[in-house]
A and B are shown apart, each in its own frame.
Chain A
Amino acid sequence: MEVAIFWLLAVIIIASAAATVFSKNIIYSAFSLLFSFLGVAGIYAMLSADFLAVTQIMVYVGGILTLILFGVMLTNRITMMSLKTDVFNFIPGLTIAAVMLAGLLYVIWVTGTWASDSPAAWDTTVETIGTLTITRFLLPFEVVAILLLIAVVGASFIARKDKQKIQS
Chain B
Amino acid sequence: MNLDALITYTLTSTALLQPELLVAVGLMLILVTDLFLKKTVQKWISVLFFLVMGLALISLSRQSEVQAQVFSGMISIDGYSVFFKYLFVVSALLAGVMSLFSEELNQNRRRLGEYFIVMTGMVLGMMLMAGAANLLMMFVAIELVSLSSYILVSYLKDDKISNESGVKYIIYGSFSSGLMIYGISLIYGITGTLSLSEMNAVLQNPAATIDPVTLTIAVLLVLGGLGYKVAAAPFHFWAPDAYQGAPTPVAAFLSVAPKAAGFAMMLRFFKTVFFGSATQDGYVPLASLDWVSILAVISVLTMTIGNVTALWQQNVKRMLAYSSIAHAGYILMGVLLLSDSGIAAMMFYLAYYLIMNLGAFYVTMLLGDRVQSYELDDWRGLGFRAPVLAVPMVIFLASLIGIPGTVGFTGKFLLFVAVLQQGSLYFWLALIAVANSVVSAFYYFKVAKILFLKKSADPHAEPVTAPVPAVVLLFVFAVPTIVLGIWWSPLYNWAMASVRMITG
Contact = CB atoms under 8 A, between A and B. Distances in A.
Interface of A: 103-104, 106-107, 110-111, 113-117, 135-140, 143-144, 146-147, 149-151, 153-154, 157-158, 162, 164-168
A164 to B, nearest CB: 5
Given A144-B140, A150-B144, A164-B108, A135 B6 contact: yes
Contacts of A104: 217
A135 B1 contact: yes
SS class, residues of chain B in contact with chain A: helix
A115 B117 CA distance: 41
B386 interface: no
A115 B191 contact: yes
A151 B114 CA distance: 11
B212 to A, nearest CB: 10
B190 A151 contact: no
Contacts of A136: 72
Interface string B19-56: 00000100110010000000000000000000000000
Contacts of B10: 138
A164 B158 contact: yes
A165 B108 CA distance: 10
A162 B158 contact: yes
A106 B121 CA distance: 40
Given A143-B128, A158-B157, A168-B160, A150 B137 contact: no
Contact-residue bracket for chain B: 35 or more
Contacts, number: 113
Nearest to B27: A146
Contacts of B217: 103-104, 106-107
A136 B71 CA distance: 7
Contacts of A151: 147
B143 A154 contact: no
B27 A158 contact: no
Contacts of B125: 143, 147
B114 A107 contact: no
A85 to B, nearest CB: 16
Contacts of B28: 149
Contacts of B499: none
B176 to A, nearest CB: 13
Q: Of A140, A153, A165, which is in contact with the most chain B CB atoms at under 10 Å from its CB?
A: A140
A80 B159 CA distance: 30
Given A151-B147, A158-B151, A158-B154, A146 B121 contact: yes
